[in-house]
Structure 1
C-alpha cells in the first residue's frame, strides 16, 4: 500500500519513538479490512517498537484500529485514540503524528496549552467525521488525537464518513469535519487545539482577554493572519520593532484552499501546508501572535499617539501603527433557506464535503473558474450536477468550460437567479430559481447546494473609520496607506486588484516597510526633524 519512498520517510520518523506502540485492529473479511490490515502490517515492518494485534469488541466499527502504548497503560494512563477507516490522503499525516505522540515523541504545543489540556476534568468522548479529500479535517483530527494522548479522560475516534455512509445518513451529517462530544454535535468546520479548548474551558477566553489587555503598546500591530499579515509580521520583526499579530484564525482563507500550483518556487502545495509554513516562519521572529482574536473597532490615535483596536473578547490593543490585513470570506447568496441549511446541504467547499454527497444530486451556484472547477470535481463523485449561473454565459476559462461540457452528468443553466434553498427542516431537498429571460420560476430537487460566487472583504467593522470602496474594500495608495494616518492595509481586503496569495504577501511586505518608514519619520527627535528639513531645503 505504501510506496518505497514513503516507507523510507516513515521509517525515519518512527525512529523517534521512545516507547512501544500497539495497533489494535477490528477487522473482518471485507475488502476494506484487507486494505487496512495490509497498511498496519507494513507499519509494523518499519519499526520494532510497533506491533499489531487483532481484537474486536461488539461496539467497534469495522474496519478500525486503536493506537495505544503498553507503557502508558502500565503507568495508569490509558490512551483512547482510534481511526475508523483507512487514514490515507490528507489523514496520513494524522496517522503519522498519532504514532509519534502515542510513542512518546513530544508535541510542539506550548507548555501552558499542554497544562490546560491536562487540567480538563470532564469525561469527553469525541467522534470526528472526516473525508480523505478534506484539507480542513486533519487539523481537527490531529488536535483531538493529541488531547487524547495528553489526557486519559479524553477519548477520540476519527471516522471516514465516506466509508461509514450509514452513520453519516443516520446522524444527518452533510459537511466535514463534524465533531460529536458525548453523542451531541460539538462543532463543524476547521478547529485547532485552541478553538476546542475555548469551547471546553469556558474561562479560557476571559483569561486570555486579561493577558491581552495587559500588553504594552506595539510599534506595529497587524490585524489578520493570512498571507498579507504573515508577510507583514516577518518584515516588521526584521526591522527590530515590537510587532504583534491579532488574528481570528492564523492562515486565513489559505486554510480553505485545496491545490496551490502558482506560488512562485513551489510547484505544488496545499493551503493548510502553506499556512503552517507561514506560521512557523513568523514564529522564528519575535512576533506576538494572538490567535482567535476578532477585531471589532478601530479607534484613531489620540493624545498619546497610539491607535487602538478593540477586540470581540473585550480586550484592547494599542500600537503606534496598524496594518489591516483581514482578508475576505466566501460570498453568500443571501436567499431564504441558505443560513437555515448551512452544513445541512448548503456547502462552500466541494473538496471537503463532496464525498458526503456520493451518488446524490447537487447544484453548484456560480459560473466562474471556482464554480466550474467545483462542478467538474463533484461530477466524479455525485450522481448529477446542475451548474447555475446568473449571467447569460459562463465566465470560466474556456479550457474549463470544454471539460465541463464533456461530462455526461452535468447540466448548465445560465441567466438563472437562485431565489430560495428548500428543505424539510433537517436537510436540503431542493432550490428554486428564476429564469431571468422569461421571468418563469422553476424548482429543482437536490440533496446539496455548493455556493461558489466569489469573496467579500472582511471590513464591516471599519465603516466610518477608514475610507472604503463601493465594494467594501479598503482604499489604499501605492504605499498601502489608508485614509487614516498611521494605518496601512494589505491583501484581499484592499482595492489592490487580483486576489492572489503571492500578491497579498508582497502587499503585506510593502505595508510593513511603509509602517516602519512612518515610524522613523514621526518618532524622530524634534531637533533631528528640523535639521533634516533644513538639509532638504538646501538640497
Structure 2
C-alpha cells in the first residue's frame, strides 16, 4: 500500500531535484506495540525512493542510537546528516496531515545544511550556547502547527545547541496532559517556558531566549 499519491510523488520528485544539495538520512525509530511505526517507516521509505540523496534507515527505540539521541517514544522520525545535526531535528509521532509539509521542507533545509531567518533573529539565535529543547505539540488537522514546528527545526538547523521536537499530542496523550495541552500548537521550551500559537520568528526567539536566560 502506497501512502503518498502518485501526483504528490511527481511533485516532490521535482522539488527534491531542484533543492537537495547533500545527503539526508531519514531515521525511523520503532518499538514494540507501536500503532504507527509501520506507517512511519513506509512513508519514509517512499520519500527515500524519490531521490538518491535521501537515505532511509529503521532503528530500534530501545537501542544505543536512540539512547544517544535521547529518544524514548516510537515512532520517532529523525532528519539528519548523521554528524552535525545528530538527532536534533525530529518528529515524535507520525508526521501526517499538515505536518507532512514540514517534513518535506525540513528534508530540503537539512540537505542544504542551512535555513532562512532574518539577520536580527540569527544574531539572537547565536547567543544560545547551552542545550535548549523546543517541543511543539501538534495535531494532524491543525493548519497553524507546521509553522511552529518549522521554526523550531530551523532554529535547530542553525544552532547546534538547539533541539526541535514535534510531538503528536493525540498519539501521546499522557505527554500532552503533562503540559495541559488544550490548544495547538503548544510550545514547551526546556520543560519550563510555554506559549500557544504559531508566532513569527521575532517573538518565538524571545521565548527561546527567556528559557535560555533562566539557565544562566
Smaller-chain TM-score range?
0.7 to 0.9
- 8 Å contact from structure 2 (residues 137, 184) kept in 1: yes
Instruction: Using structure 2 for the length normalisation, give the TM-score.
Output: 0.83
Shift of 1:177: 1.2
1:131-184 deviations in Å (ceiling 9; x for gaps): 111122111101001000000000011011011112122332212111111112
Aligned counterpart, 2:15? 13
- 8 Å contact from structure 2 (residues 79, 106) kept in 1: yes
Aligned counterpart, 1:24? 27
- In 2 relative to 1, CA 201–170 (structure 1 residues): closer, same or farther, beyond 3 Å? closer
Shift of 1:36: 0.7
Q: Normalized per residue, which structure has more helix? A: 2
Aligned counterpart, 2:94? 86
1:449-481 deviations in Å (ceiling 9; x for gaps): xxxxxxxxxxxxxxxxxxxxxxxxxxxxxxxxx
Instruction: Using structure 1 for the length normalisation, give the TM-score.
Output: 0.35
Aligned counterpart, 1:285? none
RMSD between superposed Cα atoms in Å: 2.0
Structure 1 residue runs without a partner (length 5+): 203-539
Shift of 1:107: 3.6
Shift of 1:190: 2.0
Shift of 1:106: 4.7
Aligned counterpart, 1:3? 5
Aligned counterpart, 1:139? 147
Distance 2:43 2:87 in 1: 21
Aligned counterpart, 1:44? 48
- 8 Å contact from structure 2 (residues 189, 208) kept in 1: no
- 8 Å contact from structure 1 (residues 128, 141) kept in 2: yes
- In 2 relative to 1, CA 100–115 (structure 1 residues): closer, same or farther, beyond 3 Å? farther
Distance 1:32 1:77 in 2: 25
Shift of 1:77: 5.6
Aligned counterpart, 2:214? none
- In 2 relative to 1, CA 154–170 (structure 1 residues): closer, same or farther, beyond 3 Å? same
* Structure 1 segments (4+ residues) deviating >6 Å: none
- In 2 relative to 1, CA 41–139 (structure 1 residues): closer, same or farther, beyond 3 Å? same
1:180 maps to 2:188: yes
Structure showing greater Rg: 1
